[in-house]
Amino acid sequence: MDYITIKKAAKLLHVTPLTLRNWDNCGKLKPYRHPLNKYRLYRLDQIELFLRQLELSKAKQAKRKIDVF
């Protein structure tokens, strides 16, 4: 299992580390804590899955058409 730092995870998701911390607090992502320094670490596969879910969500929204009269 590969773990990445909050900075690298934020870069992959195109958000700030603060956004990731907020998502942690909301329960969208679950960080793992380093046993010695308690830094947030993310599993790379978890970040990739979350990124795919975001892309699918954006694709669904793009397919929706709104009729304007």
Whether 7 is covered by a domain: the verdict is yes
- Are 51 and 13 spatial neighbours (Cβ–Cβ below 8 Å)? yes
Whether 18 is covered by a domain: the verdict is yes
Q: Would you tell me how many other CB atoms lie within 10 Å of the CB of residue 35?
A: 6
The boundaries of the domain holding residue 48 are 3-57
Residues 5-57 pLDDT 10s: 999 999 999 999 999 999 999 999 899 999 999 999 999 999 999 999 988 88
CATH code of the domain containing 35: 1.10.1660.10
Give, for 5, the enclosing helix (H) or strand (E).
strand 3-5
Whether 29 is covered by a domain: the verdict is yes
3-state SS, 12-50, equals HHCCCHHHHHHHHHHCCCCCEECCCCCCEEEEHHHHHHH
Whether 65 is covered by a domain: the verdict is no
Whether 44 is covered by a domain: the verdict is yes
Residues 25-37 pLDDT 10s: 999 989 999 999 9
Question: What is the SS3 assignment for 62?
Answer: helix
